Structures are given as structure tokens and as C-alpha cells.
Amino acid sequence: MNKLICLIFLGVSSSSVAQEVSKPVKFFNPATVSTAKGYNQAVEIDLGSSKMIMLSGQVPLNEEGELVGNNDLSKQTEQVFVNIKHILEEAGGSMNDLVKLNYYLTNVSEIKLLREVRDKFINIKTPPTSTLVEVNKLFRADILIEIEATAVIPKNK
């Protein structure tokens, strides 16, 4: 009898099963990015021969929490990718391990500029999957872009 069936048979709730399954999860906050308040910058999920890294939305704040590139999408985007790079390196990976990027941009007409900066950081021969959403405003009026990222890093790196 498999573990899930045994647990259900024994009357264990499904929430207990979910908690047990989620044990190979490690949350972390690298010192190389701004300090997160009330959340974690990233989570590492053990997939066996690899690990998935899911990043919270990264914004153009440097490690001291200061905005980089006031009213400058290019500089803001560069700082966001620097933050992503730092987090992936802390997890033992690199920008080549990215599999998904979700962009939140206050002005979608600036996508060309976004791509120019992005292409300095990612593998443009096999770029990660992506989603772009235009938003009216992010959590602060001076922030023009936020990017969520997901990476899969082989353990034998």
C-alpha cells in the first residue's frame, strides 16, 4: 500500500500529507540582495537529481535596500537581473539555469529596452520561458519593473 493511501486509511488529513511532502523545501535570503521584510527572497525545492529555485519578485533595490535607477528602466532592469544572478549563485547555480521569467512592467511599450538589458544576462540561444504583464503601479511609485524567476539547478554542478 503506498504512503498516501496508508495515511488516508489511517485517517490522516490531506494537510498533514502536504506538510510531509513539502519537507525538502529550504527558504533563504542571500546577504547580496536587499533584506526581505515579511517574506523570503527565494525557496529551494529538492527534485532529486536537481533543485528548483523560485525567487520572489525582484525589484531594483541594491543590497542596502536603495533604489537603483530612479526613472531609468534600463538601470532598474539591470539591477533586478543582478539581484537574480546573486540569488542563483547563492543557490549554487547561474543565469543559465533559468527556466521561467515573469515580468511586471509599468510601461509595456518599453519591452525593447527590457530585452536589450535581459540579453546581457540570459542565454539568448535558449532563453527561458516568460510572461510579461503590464501593471499600473508596483508596490512603490518609483519602481518600474519587477521580475519573478524560476531556475532548475542540477545537483552535480
When the pLDDT of each residue in the chain is averaged and rounded to a whole number, the result is: 88
Query: pTM for the complete prediction?
Result: 0.83
* Banded pLDDT at 10 (limits 50, 70, 90): very low
Class of the 24-154 domain?
Answer: alpha beta
Per-residue pLDDT of 11-59, as tens digits, reads: 444 444 444 454 689 988 888 898 888 898 999 999 999 999 999 999 9
User: What b/e readout covers 75-103, taking b as 16+ CB neighbours within 10 angstroms?
Assistant: bbbbbbbbbbbbbbebbebebebbeebbb
